[in-house]
A and B are shown apart, each in its own frame.
Chain A
């Protein structure tokens, strides 16, 4: 029984790169300059849209239309942000604070639910022998193959049947568990040495106690990864909220912004306002990303098993 913590491989790679002994010699100087220039341009392609977004959100409507490429707003204006935070009299046609509140509420609930239920199920599938374990696992793999876009009408039907359409319950409960999360947790629990649990069991600890005070503390890195993936997933979730709600009181940042951007006769283009709202919607995930980048990387690789 070999058990490898998933981090070990990464550590090795990390260490190897720190040693930094190049296998092949350096490029000649002119090539290097060219290479750096190309790489720089490529990086610019990935950064520039965000820079333009940030700058434009401080422009006035005519300025944004006339000078879409200008990297400095003239005149600078915070009108878009004032309007989003309800500080101007321009009316409340963009109830940004409500969107933000809904997004925050839903994200917190969904993330909590996923961390609890995914790790419980993952542990049971990895370590607790019970009848039907294999069948459940096969079902789980099957369920992971069901794409979200296929579930638009089906989800609506089932929420409707349960009387959960257009409620917070309908927005949150179906998202409380995700198959990919269970899968990640199962993989991780399988990597924990069995001996640790057996020792706890011999000491007389029950299943719940072993799980809570022995196994979970060891699973911290995986739990953090799961938390971050769930946060990002539910903050950016769009399709489910689109079909599970209809009233504007349940609009989140994604559905609210999407309806505002895609619809709205007579509202004009209003790009500074739209881009400011989009920027604010991006910030929480961005902050999380820069703080916990390592976990995003692990999530991306684990997630590749999904889809």
Chain B
């Protein structure tokens, strides 16, 4: 309601009677509106309906058929009912939560580092470096996943490299152990093979605390490496654009005052980057709930369901197990999670956007 009212009041937005431009306006936006409506809005409505059905894909869910209306059962199975659905869903949430926990800070820090390096006016070949760091970001996720699959084989390139420095690498894609227990086990604190006591006996949503606290599995780490490797270039460019907007006078003034390099970074550059830092953090947060292509290639959930993500689980339930209602329900829960993340992003950046709007 508010936008329309604003449109009426603002002199520029007012639509003069008989202005042909209004007609052309609708004509110009109609193909885009139609396509976005049909293939973005409508599908979401249809899926919302299907998420309330028990539908096996072998009849038409919109004309009755053999699809039973089950209300919120599909959602209840995910959160309340003790069963396979809940265990799998909780597992996928756990996996993705660890993914977020590691991916977001590491990718942000790395890409900031890369941007600082590439922004160094003293380094030769900066353009070449920028190209190098950015190139993985433009290639197809399928193609680079194939490459990583090759590199991280049990007797592959990565383990060969590790063996040069005397480390016997794990069998990456077959190793379902959580890294937390691997590390704690290595220093002798716990026996990861035989969990005991409270952690193994109590649990939440069908997983024991031992399983919740395991950290990402070794196999999940390869996915983490891959996503960090392919996305750091994009984030680097965002930082770089911001770095180039840091007024040079500021740096020069600081230099004249005899400020050290580290102080310059901490007190001048980083504060100037604050808004962009938030942007990258939230982009990484949202992006890490959307990993699908790489999971499809590199694990499809295996080993031990430790690379299962909600996105893949939704696909798997729908297309693999013909339980489309369940799949759609998972997709909507995931949608909710991503919307919350987006909301946080918009909220954090509201100040910036407001300024943006005014200059227009």
Q: Residues of A at under 8 Å CB distance from B?
A: 2, 9-10, 13, 16-17, 20, 22-24, 26-27, 35-36, 39, 42-43, 45-47, 49-50, 52-53, 56, 64-65, 68-69, 117-118, 120-121, 123-125, 128-138, 140, 143, 145-158, 161, 173-174, 176-177, 179, 182, 190, 206-208, 211, 232, 235-236, 238-239, 242-243, 253-254, 257-258, 261-262, 269, 271, 274-275, 277-279, 281-282, 285-286, 289-290, 293, 296-297, 300-301, 303-304, 307
* Interface pair A129/B13, CB less than 8 Å apart: yes
Tell me the chain B residues, 297-324 only, with Cβ under 8 Å from chain A: 297, 300, 311, 314-315, 318-319, 324
Q: Which residues of A contact B292 (CB under 8 A)?
A: 148-149, 152, 239
B14 interface residue (CB < 8 Å to A): yes
B136, B157, B161: residue with the most chain A Cβ atoms closer than 10 Å: B157
Q: A155-B39, A301-B241 are in contact. Are A24 and B21 (CB under 8 A)?
A: no
Please tell me which one of the listed residues B32, B123, B142, B283 contacts residue A307 in the complex, with CB atoms under 8 A apart: B283
The answer to whether B144 touches A173, judged by C-beta atoms less than 8 angstroms apart, is no
Which residues of B does A touch, CB under 8 Å? 3-4, 6-7, 12-16, 19-26, 28-29, 31-33, 35-36, 38-44, 46-47, 50, 61-62, 114, 117, 121-123, 129, 131-151, 153, 155-157, 160-161, 229, 234, 237-238, 241, 244-245, 248, 251-252, 254-255, 261, 264, 279, 283, 286-287, 289-290, 292-293, 296-297, 300, 311, 314-315, 318-319, 324, 327-328, 331-332, 334-335, 338-339, 342, 359-360
Tell me the bound Cα distance from A27 to B21 in angstroms. 61
Q: Are A147 and B338 in contact (CB under 8 A)?
A: yes
Task: Choose one: A135, A157, A238, A282; the contact of B46 (CB below 8 Å).
Answer: A157
Number of A-B contacts (CB under 8 A): 309
| A190→B293 CA distance, assembly (Å) | 36
Nearest chain-B residue to A260 (Cβ)?
Answer: B146
Asked if A49 and B151 sit within 8 Å, CB to CB, the answer is: yes
Q: Which of B33, B44, B150, B279 contacts A68 (CB 8 A)?
A: B150
The complex places the Cα of A174 from the Cα of B41 at a distance, in Å, of 12
C-alpha spacing A149/B148, complex, angstroms: 22
B257 to chain A, nearest CB (A): 11
The distance from the CB of A111 to the nearest CB of chain B, in whole angstroms, is 15
CB neighbours of B338 from chain A (8 A):
145, 147, 150
Q: Is the CB of B28 within 8 A of A68?
A: no
Query: When the two chains form their complex, are residues A118 and B122 in contact, meaning their CB atoms are under 8 A apart?
Result: no
Q: How far is the CA of A285 from the CA of B142 in the complex (A)?
A: 13
Whether A138 and B3, one on each chain, are in contact in the complex, defined by CB atoms closer than 8 angstroms, is: yes
A sample of 17 more A-B contacts (CB under 8 A), given A2-B359, A68-B155, A211-B28, is: A52-B151, A68-B150, A68-B160, A120-B31, A121-B32, A123-B28, A135-B4, A138-B3, A147-B338, A148-B292, A151-B44, A154-B328, A154-B331, A173-B39, A182-B32, A238-B293, A271-B150
Measured CB to CB, the closest approach of chain B to A107, in angstroms, equals 12
Give min CB distance, B119 to chain A, whole Å.
9
Asked if B290 contacts A128 (CB within 8 A), the reply is no
Q: Provide a sorted-by-A list of 13 A–B residue pairs whose CB atoms are within 8 angstroms.
A: A43-B133, A69-B161, A121-B28, A128-B22, A129-B25, A133-B25, A151-B44, A152-B331, A153-B327, A154-B331, A257-B142, A278-B142, A304-B238
**Are the C-beta atoms of B279 and A304 separated by less than 8 Å?**
yes
Interface centre among B32, B132, B244, B251 (most CB of A within 10 A): B32
In the bound assembly, the distance between CA atoms of A297 and B130 in angstroms comes to: 10
Taking CB atoms, residues of chain A closer than 8 Å to B42 are: 158
Known: A47-B132, A153-B324, A158-B38. A281 touches B286 (CB 8 A): no
Q: Are A278 and B146 in contact (CB under 8 A)?
A: yes
Q: Is the CB of B35 within 8 A of A174?
A: yes
Give the docked Cα–Cα distance between A131 and B25 (Å).
9
B174 CB, min distance to chain A CBs, angstroms: 14
B335 touches A146 (CB 8 A): yes
Asked if A124 contacts B359 (CB within 8 A), the reply is: no
Chain A nearest CB, measured from B284 CB (Å): 10
Evaluate whether A154 and B35 lie within 8 angstroms (CB atoms) in the complex, with A20-B121, A46-B132, A123-B28 already known: no
Contact B3 A146 (CB under 8 A): no
Q: How far is the CA of A253 from the CA of B293 in the complex (A)?
A: 13
Among the listed A52, A158, A293, which residue makes an inter-chain contact with B131, where contact means beta carbons less than 8 Å apart?
A293
List A contacts of B261 (CB < 8 A): 24
- Cα separation A26 to B245 with both chains bound (whole Å): 22
Using CB atoms, name the residue of chain B closest to A160. B60
User: A152's closest neighbor in chain B, by CB?
Assistant: B315
Residues of A within 8 A of B160 (CB): 68-69
Task: Please state if B146 and A206 are interface contacts (CB–CB under 8 Å).
Answer: no
* CB-based closest 7 A-B pairs: A130-B25, A154-B43, A128-B25, A134-B3, A124-B28, A13-B244, A121-B32
Do A274 and B44 touch across chains, with their CB atoms under 8 A apart?
A: no
